[in-house]
Structure 1
Amino acid sequence: MRFLKYFVFIYLLTCSYALYAQGLFRKKDSIVTKSLSESWELDKKDKNGTFRLNSYKPFYVLPAQWTNRINEMPQSIGSEPAFDEPADLHSTEVKFQISFKTKLIQSFLFGKGDIWVGYTQTANWQVYNKQLSRPFRELNYEPELIINYPLDFNFLGFQAKMAGFAFNHQSNGRADPISRSWNRIIFHFAMEHNNFQIYLKPWIRLDRSADDDDNPEIEDYVGRAEATVIYRKNGHSLNLLLRNSLSFKDNHGSLQFNYMYPIRNNLRGHLQVFSGYGENLIDYNHYQTTVGIGISFVEW
């Protein structure tokens, strides 16, 4: 009953905020966009100048996310467990994500390329865990500098729309022994056709000494590339995110499925299912399956 009370309270709170946010973003200049050109200002008609705040990755709140295997003893590869005893964690927690981007430089490369800066933050919050004083189990911070160039040609029945690369840093801001971080150069290529969008993102992890690696072999678990497939119709959105280590031996990775359905205007219900490694950085080498339900404010 106590769990139910907190769940209902948080769900009503997020819904109330969402309805308030709808009043802010229901005008014509809403930050919610659909096409790749609208989202990344690729065509001349969609250019909006610099330092204008835009949505990036989905912005959502999941008041209930359940996992079949909570990570009570986080441990990096080749290291001892971070704690002497398993933490008394609950298998159900709150998860939320905020994400935005802004353009720093417009039309700098042959009059077409742009430079963006993006920021994404995700949180796993043990809000129902009174015994441990409701701590944030994990916070992940992900700033990145993105160089983007518009494209316009047919590719496998799709219209190629953009390509580029990003300097990406991701960390949890914690001290040893549960510090986790890595730096990458992420290449990207995106295309669309009718209601479909596809993003392909391989990456290279930047060199790091073995003595200063918080999460060794992270590429072998979280992966070396990801593909995102998005299908939208009548306000509904199906998003499939696949990550893979691209290794024939001990192949690892993850799959995340998101279903967003319309509630009112731009407010959507959100169902998220994840299975694999790297649901967050502290769990980079921890396999689990999670199911979360909540609401979304904006999407890709």
Structure 2
Amino acid sequence: MANVYFCPKSQKLKAINYRVILTTLISIFCYLTGTEKVRAQDNVDQDWIFKNSKTLSELWELDEEHHRGTFLITSYKPIYFSLGKFSTNTNKNPQSEQRDNSLPQPIDLNVFETKFQLSMKTKVFYKVLWGKADVWAAYSQKAYWQIYNKELSRPFRETNYEPEIILNFPMNFTVLGFKGRMLGAAFVHESNGRSDPLSRSWNRLSFHAGFDKGPWQLIVKNWFRLGGSNDDNPEISDYIGRGEAQLIYDWGRQRLSAIGRHSLRLGEKNRGSLQLNYTFPIIKNFSGHVQVFNGYGESLIDYNHRQTTFGLGVSLIN
């Protein structure tokens, strides 16, 4: 009878009890050693990995699901710091079309410098124009620092300031397989805050459209210059351009983007630029950043100066 009492079913019950005991011991060990915290942090990191590449709906809060409220500062353009940027044709004597608007002699600039960009935006008004649009305020700043130029006491060569007021309309339509997510307009001012002969500035009215398709994003812009022609850069649109197309591809935590600008003119005024960016993860929110630029307008002071630059640094926000 004893053999009947200790049947395989009883052995199965014992095995279950052993597993319960073993699981309990492992849980206690993980709790005491902090392993569970590490596992939880891994889950957080995985969530962050998948959410690192935000859609246009998330970036611009185009629906109720992603609306975060007004006057909350969020990122706009990429935030990065190029530790080293090399130029094939450094502009040592910047000059506008006005021949009297130039320096008395060239500046002894280094071909190597650093560059950084800061950019942010905030939603000012929500659901204006009969509930169809949002109003945003944005600010971007680029700085070019001759930090390796000891002879000139490491000055900032150029700083560009770019505030914007943006009117954005959430949309939902399809063009060539891409989803149209937004249409809008913006008033943009850009200047370097300097006096003659190095003063450069312009105002423009810009129109934009945003599309996405899976890991792809496409943003196209067309702008018209505002103001007179008797300024310090009267033909800036023939160099920097009158339109822009930005194509972005997210590959996991890596991002590739191309920004092309063009004057939308032919002949001698057929000018523009192409900028390529590649970011790759280093640790958490810290990424490496590679940038290649070719054409006119790498900075405002260089709006009519053609060059090719190569930059390598780090990125905080893509």
Q: Same fold (TM over 0.5)?
A: yes
Partners of 1:53 and 1:130 lie apart in 2 by: 37
Residue deviations 1:86-116, cap 9 Å, x none?
1110000000000000000011123231000
Secondary structure of the residue that 2:290 maps to in structure 1? Answer: strand
1:6 aligns to what?
none
Paired position in structure 1 for 2:116: 96
Match of 1:23 in 2: none
1:229 match: 247
The residue type paired with residue 235 of structure 2 is: E
Q: Does 1:258 align with 2:285?
A: no
Superposed displacement of residue 255, structure 1? 0.2
d(CA) in 2 for partners of 1:152, 1:290: 38
Are 2:155 and 1:135 aligned? yes
Contact 2:52–2:253, Cα closer than 8 Å, also in 1: no
Mapped to 2, the partners of 1:175 and 1:53 lie a distance apart of: 31
2:185·2:207 contact (CA, 8 Å) conserved in 1?
yes
Cα shift readout 1:246-277 (whole Å, capped 9, x = no counterpart): 00122000000000011112221000000000
Which residue of 40, 43, 46 corresponds with 2:63?
A: 43
Residues 73 and 81, structure 1, Cα contact 8 Å, conserved in 2: no
* Structure 2: gaps spanning 5 or more residues: 1-44
With normalisation by structure 1, the TM-score equals 0.88
Deviations 1:207-264 (A, max 9, x none): 2142xx1111000000000000000011010000000000012200000000001111
User: Residues 124 and 287 of structure 1: is their aligned pair in 2 closer, same or farther, counting only changes over 3 Å?
Assistant: same
1:72 aligns with 2:92: yes
Q: Give 1:146 shift.
A: 0.3
Contact kept, 8 Å, 2:94 with 2:302, in 1: the verdict is yes
What letter corresponds to residue 276 of structure 1 in structure 2?
G
Shift of 1:82: 2.0
The one-letter amino acid paired with 1:120 is: S
SS state at 1:189 partner: strand
Distance 1:99 1:129 in 2: 26
Q: How many Å apart are 1:84 and its aligned residue?
A: 1.9
Matched, 1:291 2:307: no
Larger radius of gyration: 2
Q: Quickly say closer, same or farther: Cα 1:88–1:262, change in 2 above 3 A.
A: same
In the TM superposition, what are the counterparts of 1:143-162 in structure 2 within 5 Å? 143-162=163-182
Q: From the superposition, tell whether residues 243 and 209 of structure 1 become closer, same or farther in structure 2 (CA, over 3 Å).
A: closer
Offset of 1:85 from its aligned partner? 1.7
Matched, 1:239 2:279: no
Equivalent position of 2:80 in the other structure:
60
Cα distance between partner residues in 2 of 1:27 and 1:112: 35
CA shift digits 1:36-68 (9 cap, x unpaired): 000000011000110001000000000100000
Partners of 1:247 and 1:296 lie apart in 2 by 34
SS in 2 for 1:79: coil
Query: What is the alpha-carbon root mean square deviation over aligned residues?
Result: 1.9
Give the structure, 1 or 2, with the largest relative contact order (CA under 8 Å, sep 6 or more).
1
Query: Contact conserved, 2:53 with 2:250, CA < 8 A, in 1?
Result: no
Aligned to 1:282, the other structure's residue is in SS state helix
**How far, CA to CA, are the matches of 2:173 and 2:296 in structure 1?**
35
Contact 1:164 1:187 in 2 (8 A): yes
Gap change, CA 1:209 and 1:242, over 3 Å in 2: closer
User: 1:28 and 1:103 mapped to 2: Cα distance?
Assistant: 26
| Deviations 1:133-173 (CA, angstroms, capped at 9, x unpaired) | 11000000000000000001111110000000000000000
**Which residue of 171, 175, 188 corresponds with 2:208?**
188
Q: In structure 1, list runs of 5 or more residues that go unmatched.
A: 1-25
Name the structure 2 match of 1:214. 232
User: Could you tell me whether the CA contact under 8 Å between 1:268 and 1:295 is conserved in 2?
Assistant: yes
> Could you say if the C-alpha distance between residues 220 and 66 of structure 1 is closer, same or farther in structure 2, counting changes exceeding 3 Å?
same
Match for residue 276 of structure 1?
A: 295
| Kept in 2: contact 1:32–1:55 (CA 8 A) | no
